[in-house]
Amino acid sequence: MHPQFPLLVLLVSTHREMRSALIWYVMREVLLHDAKRVPANWTGLVSGGQHAAFLTDIESCAPVYADGTPVQRAAEHFCWLFDSLAQAETYCREEVTKIPRVKCQIFDSQGRANAPVAIVVNDRYLHKVDSEHRARRLIRWGVVVAGSALPLFIYALLAGAQVVWWPILVGTNLAFAGLRLMHWGQGVKDELKYRQNEAARRRVQAEKTSSMRDSFSP
């Protein structure tokens, strides 16, 4: 790794809205901790408006290099530093297209104290991250599981609960399991909404910071 040498990259990126953009950006490979560097911690190198991209394996969550190979030593853990969120997102989209198993998390200048501003994964691994689709699926399964208890309760009522007790036991467990699934799904939805609102707020703040910095640049 050569963190002292920034990489100048020219990319032609096709966005989801089917628009093409020609983007120049500088990305810098930064060790998360370097005792010989001042500041030693990576967060001290990130200024307002800049964003850091962290690459991990979608299955193991272990840090990886840009080619998808795992980082072997803690001293080699690194991130890519970009001057704007748009540049970081463009790089991450290209990376997950090239190496599908890579998950890319983008953080703002506040570091990993907050949830990532954006998470980019290959389409085939969308089910591995929390999403509205996953939340709806959990709620639907909860309704199905809880609903399956109803025929058991009806059977016990008709047959006599004192004589046939097992439908009550099974039905009660199914009802509680279904409620837990629905609660889990609703929790995922609420968490996603909170993250989206926070990410949107920090996106606006980052864009304002970047605009102010550009207005003062010669």
Angle, CA 134 vertex, CA 61 and CA 149 arms, to 5°: 125
Check pLDDT > 50 for residue 16: no
Statement to judge: residues 24 and 104 lie in one domain: yes
Does the pLDDT at position 168 exceed 60? Answer: yes
The answer to whether residue 159 sits within a structural domain is yes
The yes-or-no verdict on residue 45 having pLDDT over 50 is yes
Q: Are residues 181 and 197 in the same domain?
A: yes
Q: What is the pLDDT of residues 101-153, one digit of tens each?
A: 999 999 888 888 777 888 899 988 877 776 677 788 889 999 999 999 999 98
**Position with higher pLDDT, 48 vs 92:** 92
CA nearest neighbour of 43 among 88, 106, 110: 110
Residue that is last in its domain, among 102, 127, 152: 127
Q: Backbone phi, then psi, for 217, in 5-degree steps?
A: -75, 145
Residue at which a domain ends, from 127, 153, 171: 127
Q: Do residue 150 and residue 114 come from a single domain? A: no
Q: Is residue 14 within 8 Å of 20, Cβ to Cβ?
A: yes
The reported pLDDT for the residue numbered 13 is 34
Same domain, 111 and 198: no
pLDDT of 129 reads: 74
Which pLDDT does position 217 carry in this prediction?
57
**Whether residue 202 has pLDDT greater than 90:** no
What is d(CA 97, CA 120) in angstroms, rounded to the nearest whole number? 10
With a CB cutoff of 8 Å and minimum separation 6, the contacts of 162 are none
With respect to residue 1, please indicate whether it lies within any of the assigned structural domains. Answer: no
Q: Say what the pLDDT of residue 141 is.
A: 93
Mean residue pLDDT of the chain comes to 80
**Are both 121 and 54 inside the same structural domain?**
yes
Same-domain status, 89 and 170: no
Residue 170: is its pLDDT beyond 80?
yes
Residue 18 has pLDDT above 50, yes or no: no
Which whole number is the average pLDDT over 156-167? 80
Q: Are residues 198 and 91 in the same domain?
A: no
**Phi, psi dihedrals of residue 124, rounded to the nearest 5°:** -70, -15
Q: What's the whole-number mean pLDDT along residues 44-68?
A: 90
Does 116 share its domain with 16? yes
pLDDT for residue 100: 93
> Domain limits at 187?
130-216
Q: Which two tokens stand for residue 89?
A: 């997102």
Among candidate residues 127, 156, 188, the one where a domain is terminated: 127
Instruction: Tell me: do 83 and 25 sit in the same domain.
Output: yes
The one-character DSSP state at 106 is E
Check whether residue 13 and residue 121 sit in a common domain. yes
Measure CA 94 to chain center. 16
**Does residue 140 share a domain with residue 46?**
no
State if pTM tops 0.75: no
Domain membership of residue 161 (yes or no) is: yes
Residues 24 and 118 in one domain: yes
203 in any annotated domain: yes
With respect to residue 99, please indicate whether it lies within any of the assigned structural domains.
yes
What mean pLDDT do residues 90-105 have? 93
Spatial contact of 135 and 196, defined as CB atoms under 8 Å apart: no
pLDDT digits (tens, 9 = 90+) for 24-44: 557 888 999 998 888 899 988
Number of domains in the chain: 2
The distance of Cα 153 from the centroid of its chain, to the nearest Å, equals 42
Over residues 71-87, the pLDDT tens digits come to 988 889 999 999 888 88
More confident residue, 6 or 145: 145
Residue length of the chain? 218
Residues 132 and 192 sit within 8 Å (Cβ to Cβ): yes
The yes-or-no verdict on residue 22 having pLDDT over 70 is no
